[in-house]
Homo-oligomer: A and B are copies of this chain.
Amino acid sequence: MKITYREALKQAIREALQNDERVFLMGEDVGRYGGAFAVSKGLLQEFGPGRIMDVPLSESGFVGAGIGAALGGMRPVVEVMTVNFSLLAMDQLVNNAATLLHMSGGQLNVPVVIRMSCGTGRQLAAQHSHSWEPLYAHIPGLIVLSAGTHEDARGMLHTALQCPDPVIIFEYTAMLNLEADLPADAGAVNIDRACVRKEGKDISIITYGAGVYKALDAAKELTAAGIDAEVIDLRVLRPLDNISILDSVRKTHRVLVVEEAWGSVNIAAEVSARIMENVFYELDAGVQRLCGIEVPMPYPKHLEDASLPQIEDIIKKVKKMLQHD
C-alpha cells in the first residue's frame, strides 16, 4: 500500500487515540488548523477537543503540562510544532522529564511522548531549519527516536506510548509528501535497535533521519559502480545501539557517518568515538563524517543545498574512501 509519510504519522496518532483513553494530543494548532503540516487534520472532528488540544504559544508551559499530565496518569502526546521552538521547552524536558525518575529514587515515571517536526531543505532559513537531534541525544533519561522511514513514522509512536519513560520522536518535514510502500497492517516497531536498511560488505554508511533515504539512494548508485555499501539507520539516537554499529564495522571495516546536523559534537562524532573505543583494530581506515556545514542555515536554495550532505556528496565520499575515484 502506497502511503505518504504524513499519512503514516496520522494513522499512528489516530490508532493511539483509539487504543487508549489516556492518550491525548496537544500542541500548537494541532486542532482547528489541522496541524502546521496537516498531520493531525480531521482528528479534532473525530476525537473532540478533549483529546486534541490546541494550546497557546507557551512551549515551556505546555510541554511541562504534558509532563505533569503524564505524572498524573495520562499518556500525553505533546507536539512541539517544530524542533526550532523546542529550546523554549528544553528545561522542562531535561530537568523534569529526564530527571524525575532518578531524583525521586525510582518513584515517578514520566510516560510522555514529545513529537517534533524537524529538518531542512525547505528554505526556512536560520531560525527554522535546525537539526537538534544531537542536543537531545546527549541527555540521559530521555529516549530519543528518529523516524527516518515510513515504517517508523507509522510504528514508533505505538511503542513509545508503551514506554514508562519520556520519549522524543523526531519527524522529518521534508519527507511528509513522500510516498512509500507499507503493508496495510503495518504497526508497532521496536524502539531499541538500529536497523540495517541495506546489507553490504564494502563500507557501512551509518545515518538517521533525513539521511536514510539519501544513503539508500547513494547506495543504489554505488552498487552500479561496483561498491556494496551497507546502510544503517540508527533510529534510536539515545540510548544508541552499539551492537548494530559494531557488528557492521566488523563486517565492512570502513565507515562513513552521514548526518544533517551541524558538524561538531554531534551523533556522528559519538558513533565514530564508539567505533574507535571498541573496534579500533577492525578498521581499515579512519571513520569519516559527512555532516551539516557549521553555519546557521542560509535562506537561498543553492546555499542551503551546499550546507547539507547530498546524495552526490555521499557517493563521492564513499568512492574516495574506497580509493575508487
Contact = CB atoms under 8 A, between A and B. Distances in A.
Given A267-B265, A269-B273, A280-B286, A95 B127 contact: yes
A264 B272 contact: no
Contact of A295 (B102, B137, B269): B102
A322 interface: no
A266 interface: yes
- Chain A interface extent, by class: 35 or more
A266 B238 CA distance: 13
A277 interface: yes
Given A127-B95, A137-B264, A273 B296 contact: no
Contact of A88 (B91, B273, B289): B91
A4 interface: no
A296 B102 contact: yes
Contacts of A141: 296
B277 A287 contact: yes
A264 B276 contact: no
Given A98-B296, A140-B294, A286-B276, A240 B264 contact: yes
Contacts of A295: 102, 140
A103 interface: yes
A273 B262 contact: no
Interface in A257-289: 261-262, 264-270, 272-273, 275-278, 280-281, 283, 285-289
A311 interface: no
Contacts of A281: 286
Given A270-B269, A273-B289, A295-B102, A139 B262 contact: yes
B273 A280 contact: no
A262 B138 contact: yes
Contacts of A134: 138, 265
A36 interface: no
- What 3 A-B pairs come out closest when comparing CB atoms? A280-B286, A272-B273, A87-B91
